[in-house]
Amino acid sequence: MNHLSINIKGSLHHFHKPWVMGILNVTPDSFFAESRTIETDDIRRRIDDLISQGADIIDIGGYSSRPGAPEVSADEEYSRLARGLEAIRKYHPDTLISVDTFRADVARRCVSDWEADIINDISGGNLDAEMWPTVAELQVPYILMHMRGTPSSMQSLCDYNDVTADVIRDLAFKIDAMHQLGIADIIVDPGFGFAKDINQNYQLMAELDQFKQLNTPLLVGISRKSMIYRPLDITPQTAINGTTVLNTFALLHGANILRVHDVKEAVEAVKIIDLIKQNTP
């Protein structure tokens, strides 16, 4: 049995069963068009859908990290996030929320103004030197993702000796540094699609078991990404089947959280894999 856990506002949350994290993009330009919400009614409808389909947590982002996405100011990012956070707290006040931002000030405002539960930083602290001290002060769990460079430069930074070993080494170094700052609750994300080419993404997936050595909960976010739709010569809109295949593999190899656009399908995968594990002699 998996005994990993995180402390959220003084309450211990165990990963006896994997969580499904539903994506709420309060942006006009995320790579998967159907996930974009800007207007208040669309935001509320999306939140209702995620929760009714069984999301354990909602991950809200106001800054698209796709290559070529336009720059968004910190104030604009916070303004977008606040629209989503307000809707969640008003209509579903007990829902766990992670905020997808690499900016320390935005993270601070989301926690102090809206009681956001977790900070999800795609840069792993690389893009804002104040992020880790801020998380240490706020005492919220932190999702540490592996990325090199920035969203606009990352795909030119895919040179590794051994992608899995190099990513784990980088994450382990950062986990140690964060522990020294007093950050206890860390979730790791290998960063599929961020400074990795397609074959490197699949090597990471094939060797996902190796991330268990970090002794932290593991988040896998591959939903409708190019590592699925490019090899299959399809589009993000038609990549749900490939997403479910990879999510299923991830669940069998140690994933504790699936970050997805399609909650219903991920919840079904979690239930079926759980049945297999319960009935394994």
Q: What is the pLDDT of residue 41?
A: 82
The verdict on residue 170 lying in a domain is yes
Q: Looking at the chain, how many residues does it have? A: 281
Domain encompassing residue 231 = 17-278
- Looking up residue 204, the CATH number of its domain turns out to be 3.20.20.20
Q: What is the pLDDT along the chain (281 residues), one digit of tens a residue?
A: 447 999 999 999 999 999 999 999 998 755 445 545 567 788 899 999 999 999 999 999 998 777 666 788 999 999 999 999 999 999 999 999 999 999 999 999 999 999 999 999 999 999 999 999 999 999 999 999 999 866 766 677 678 999 999 999 999 999 999 999 999 999 999 999 998 999 999 999 999 999 999 999 999 999 999 999 999 999 999 999 999 999 999 999 999 999 999 999 999 999 999 999 999 98
Q: What is the pLDDT of residue 128?
A: 96
CA distance 40 to 168: 40
CA distance 42 to 49: 11
Q: What is the pLDDT of residue 1?
A: 42
Cβ count within 10 A of residue 139: 15
Q: How many domains does the chain have?
A: 1
The verdict on residue 212 lying in a domain is yes
pTM for this model (two decimals): 0.93
Phi-psi region of 101 (alpha: psi -120 to 50; beta: other; left: phi over 0): beta
Sequence letter at residue 207 = E
In what helix (H) or strand (E) does residue 82 lie, and over which residues does it extend?
helix 74-91
Q: What is the pLDDT of residue 35?
A: 46
CA distance 92 to 86: 10
Q: What is the pLDDT of residue 31?
A: 46
Is the Cβ–Cβ distance between 211 and 189 less than 8 Å? no
The verdict on residue 96 lying in a domain is yes
Separation in Å, CA 268 to CA 18, 53, 107, 116, 275: 12, 10, 32, 27, 11
Q: What is the pLDDT of residue 42?
A: 85
Cβ count within 10 A of residue 179: 11
Tokens encoding 38: 């800007």
Tokens encoding 178: 């964060």
User: CB under 8 Å to 277, separation ≥6 — which residues?
Assistant: none
Residue with tokens 């995320």: 30
User: Any idea which residues carry the catalytic annotation?
Assistant: 225, 259
The verdict on residue 79 lying in a domain is yes
The verdict on residue 104 lying in a domain is yes
The verdict on residue 8 lying in a domain is no
DSSP label of 31: S
Q: What is the pLDDT of residue 37?
A: 56
Q: What is the pLDDT of residue 154?
A: 67
Separation in Å, CA 258 to CA 21, 49, 101, 203, 279: 6, 17, 18, 18, 22
The verdict on residue 51 lying in a domain is yes
Q: What is the pLDDT of residue 67?
A: 64
CA distance 242 to 244: 5
CA distance 85 to 101: 13
The verdict on residue 54 lying in a domain is yes
Q: What is the pLDDT of residue 3?
A: 75
C-alpha count within 13 angstroms, C-beta hemisphere, residue 56: 17
Separation in Å, CA 77 to CA 25, 73, 234: 11, 6, 31
